[in-house]
Amino acid sequence: MFKSSITKFLIASLGVLMIGLLVAALILAAQAWSRYELAGRIARLTRTDHTLFNALLTVRAQVPKISTSLISQDDPSPVIDAARHNASGTVTSALRALQATDIANHGELAAAIQSAWQKVEALQSTVDDQVSRPRSARNLHDIDGWREAIHGTIDSLNTASAAVGNTVRIGDPLIAEMVQVRRTAWTIRDRYGLQCSQLRSNVETSAPLNAGLLDMWFGNRAVYTAAWHTLDEFLLRPGVSTALQQRIYVARNQTQLGQAKVDAIVAKFDNSGRPAVGSAEWTDLCDGPFDAILAIAQQAQDEANTHAEAMRAAASRMLLVSGLGLIAVIAFGVFAVVNVQRRLARPMKLLIGTIARFSRREFDEAVPSTGSPDELGSMAKALETLRASALEAERLQMTMSRFTADASHQMRTPLSVLRAHISVLSNIIPPNNEAYSSLRDIQEASDRLQRLLIQLLKLARADSGQSVDNDSGEIDLREVIQDIASKHVPQALEASVDLHFEAEQKRFPAMANPIMISEIFANLIDNAIRYNDAGGSVVVRLFDHDGKPVVDVEDDGPGIPDAEHDKVFTRFYRLNRDQSRVGSGLGLAIVRSFAASLNADIEMSKASGPRGLRVRIAFA
């Protein structure tokens, strides 16, 4: 069987495009770039979290260092100055790293850290005041405000670290676990270390712990004990590194031993007023497990950083491979596009433009030739034949519309004369005369003919694009449609049909032509009453749907078969069962024409009851 050159070429082009898998390559490259960006972001945020955590440790370390130096050294200035310098430097680094991130509210988090640290700096004078006193006259309670400010800075750093960590945790599950391990280790170090400062005054005087202090002491122990249980559960997960396992084991043993020694000292408090142990010994005892605990956090941080960098390296390799593949696919794609453009795209563009003109009913310009005797050339010839047929149909439609309008106008004058003579004869011929019955038949026929001419004129105007009235603007559909329904009450009473109008008590504004609205619903209500049975009902219902007005005209009459829903909108079409009834078959045709002029949608369906018909008009 003969295959045209365009078909063969199209198959070849599609083969090249399929081999190239341009779409797949683009998706792969996009995914690779996305992973590269994500990996880079995770690596940056992991480093930022590490900087924040270091700042938190350094700021927290000031409290035991400065407190111990104030108690144990005559001149604690070198220790205090070094602690301050280190803390200030790490806070500055943390602020710089945080402000460079893209996490939500990073500016607010940085501002909170800055504000908290300013409070610390403002209260450093209370520490300096203690330094200026003799060692025996120093009182650590005088720097409680400074310690509170330190803890405020720790809280703000911890909040920022949590925000960064939460963002990182979303990106990778392993890093999420390492972040959790690091936080848990910090909780253990922080809660274990609190007893050093909380019990220091009692250690200096061997004063027994009061109830409030006992509650705080046992509460902190409960928190860090629960944190150890969390790490125990983590160790059950497959894949935990040996280094991290070892650090957790060592830190836990040191913590348990240290806590046992602290418990033994507290148990010997005898209220003697003498130190239970030396200040430096107490500090060393409390601080002993700190390095081991922080080694857990450091190991988790290092493993998170290593994993993040590995992710970024893998993403870089994938991005490189994807880029090379994309370049190869693009090269094939360019080849295919150039050839398809020459052999297929240009003729298709001409044909698509022609179809677009046809959709706008622009048939004057002939369909251009594609210049090739292939399928597209055959399509161009078919479209030209269609254009000629459409022009002929348009000419016939215009001729029919002109004929309808001219005939209607021409028939109005003789019809008026006929109706005038009928009126005269009605006054002359008495009702008991034999000719009176024939006169009534002539009068009914003239009335039907007059209605038919009026409807033909309306259709002729609609066909020619003329509005029945130029007075268009915003109207209240509720007011207009209710008025139309009320005018049909006499007709409904005469037919023994109940007519109801339903709508909320509010305005239903719409930009519409009131004359067209009247014609649409006058026809629909008239049909619903005319073709209903005695004792039936008609409901005209106005409501909002998706913010737009909708009107239903629903009856419980015999209805219209589904197969004829479209046919009844055809001019002069009437159901077989209605041939004996008075009517022209133009009412629904007028409804459809006017609804189209108003950009309204019309839909015919079965009524909500067991029988009947519903016609819905939805306004734009």
φ and ψ at 488, to 5 degrees? Answer: -95, 5
Q: CB–CB of 201/276 below 8 Å?
A: no
CATH 3.30.565.10 describes domain 473-618: yes
- Stretch (H or E) spanning 578: none
In the chain, CATH 1.10.287.130 covers: 375-463
Q: Model confidence over 505-553: pLDDT tens digits?
A: 999 998 888 878 888 898 899 889 988 999 999 999 999 998 899 999 9
Q: Is 100 helix (H, G, I), strand (E, B) or coil?
A: coil
CB 200 within 8 A of CB 213: no
Task: Find out whether 459 and 571 touch, Cβ atoms under 8 Å.
Answer: yes
In this structure, are residues 304 and 175 in contact, taking their beta carbons and an 8 Å threshold?
A: yes
- What do you get for the CA distance between the two ends of the chain, in Å? 52
Q: Locate CATH 3.30.565.10 in the chain.
A: 473-618
Q: How many CA atoms does the CB half-sphere of 428 hold within 13 Å?
A: 8
Structure tokens at 461: 């105007």
Contacts of 89 (CB under 8 A, 6+ apart): 58
Residue 440: enclosing H or E segment and its boundaries? helix 434-463
The CA distance from 160 to 98, in Å, is 8
Contact yes or no for 42/412 (Cβ under 8 A): no
**C-beta separation of 154 from 90 below 8 A:** no
CA distance 78 to 540: 94
* Cα distance between residue 61 and residue 214, in whole Å: 24
* Of the candidates 153, 177, 154, the residue with the CA atom closest to the CA atom of residue 165: 177
pLDDT of residue 220: 87
What is the number of residues in the chain? 620
What is the predicted pLDDT for the residue at 417?
A: 64
> For residue 323, which phi and psi values (nearest 5 degrees)?
-65, -45
Q: Which two tokens stand for residue 284?
A: 């060393």
pLDDT reported for residue 297: 84
333 token code pair? 């794609």
The pLDDT assigned to 227 comes to: 92
**Segment 395-428, tens digit of pLDDT:** 655 655 565 555 555 555 676 666 676 777 777 7
Hey, how many other C-beta atoms are within 10 angstroms of the C-beta on 542? 20
Do residues 403 and 395 touch, judged by C-beta distance below 8 A?
no
* Half-sphere exposure for 410 (CA within 13 Å, toward CB): 6
pTM: 0.43
List the chain residues with pLDDT less than 50. 1-4, 7, 467-470
Residues 6+ apart with CB under 8 A from 570: 589
Distance CA 590, CA 522 (A): 11
Is the backbone of residue 476 left (phi > 0), alpha (psi -120 to 50) or beta?
beta
Looking at domain 375-463, its CATH architecture is Orthogonal Bundle (1.10)
What is the rounded distance in angstroms from the CA atom of residue 78 to the CA atom of residue 72? 13
One-letter amino acid at 618 equals A
Is the Cα torsion angle 319, 325, 327, 333 positive or negative in sign? negative
